[in-house]
Amino acid sequence: MEEPKSLTPRQWWLYRLIKWATLEQDTKLSISQIIDYQNKYGQAGKLTFTDLYNFIESEGNHSNCPEIYKDVDIINESDELDKIICKKNNQFWLGNESECIQFYNKLMHNVCRDSHKCKIIRDKISRDGQGKLITFDGIPINDTNAREFHESFIRQENLLKELEKKDKTIHDLEIKVLQYKNQADMYKERYEYYKNNGGH
C-alpha cells in the first residue's frame, strides 16, 4: 500500500465543508451543493486553491464530479484525520458509528464481489483447450451445442490484442480488489481509534 500523502488545500477545504455541514447544519452535501459552495467561496476570494471542481452533466449512475470522489477517498485514507466521510447516492457526510460500519461492510462486499469476478475470469483462461465431459456419442454433457474442448478465447488474427485486454481486465480487477481491501481495513482501524480515543 502506498504511503499516505499530505492533504492538498482543496482536500482540506472539502473536508472542512463536509464537517461543517454534518456537525453544524445536520445535513449531507450533494456534489452540486459542494460546487455551489466552492463558487461562492471563490467569488468571495476565500479559496486557497485554484484547481476547482467541475460539474459534469451525465446520465445514469455516473458521477458528476469524479474529482470529489477521488478526494474523499484520499481524505479517508489520510492519517491526518480521524473522521470518516461516508458517501452514498452522490451525497457526503461524516458518519456516525452505525453509518461507518455500514460503509465498511459495503467496501467488504465490493472486495468479495470483485474477487469472485477475478476467479471466474482466471478459471476460464486456465481451462482453455481442456476437454469437456462428453457422452458416448461425443456430445459435451453440459452443452449440446458446444465443442468437445473449452475455447475461452476468440480464434482470429487479433487474438493477441484480445488476450492483452483480458490480462489488463484481470489486473485492473485485482488492483481494485486490493484497493477495496486496503480501504476497508483502514476504515476499520480508523473507526476503532475514533471510538476509543475521539478525534478531530
**Does position 133 have pLDDT exceeding 70, yes or no?**
no
**Does position 146 have pLDDT exceeding 70, yes or no?**
no
Per-residue confidence band for 147, with pLDDT thresholds at 50, 70 and 90: low
Section 22-31 average pLDDT? 94
What pLDDT does residue 184 have? 80
Per-residue confidence band for 185, with pLDDT thresholds at 50, 70 and 90: confident
Helix 159-197 crosses helix 97-126 at what angle (to 10 degrees)? 160
What is the rounded distance in angstroms from the CA atom of residue 14 to the CA atom of residue 17? Answer: 5
The alpha carbon of residue 78 and the mean position of all alpha carbons in its chain are separated, in whole angstroms, by: 16
**Does position 153 have pLDDT exceeding 50, yes or no?**
no
Per-residue confidence band for 176, with pLDDT thresholds at 50, 70 and 90: confident
Q: Per the confidence metrics, is the pTM higher than 0.75?
A: no
Average pLDDT along the chain: 78
Q: Encode burial over 60-86: b for 16+ CB neighbours within 10 A, e otherwise.
A: eeeebbebbeebbebbbbbeebebbbb
What pLDDT does residue 69 have? 93
Spell out the domain ranges in the chain: 1-95, 96-200
Among 63, 66, 68, 72, which Cα is nearest to 95's? Answer: 72
What pLDDT does residue 190 have? 78
**Does position 18 have pLDDT exceeding 90, yes or no?**
yes
What pLDDT does residue 162 have? 56
What pLDDT does residue 165 have? 65
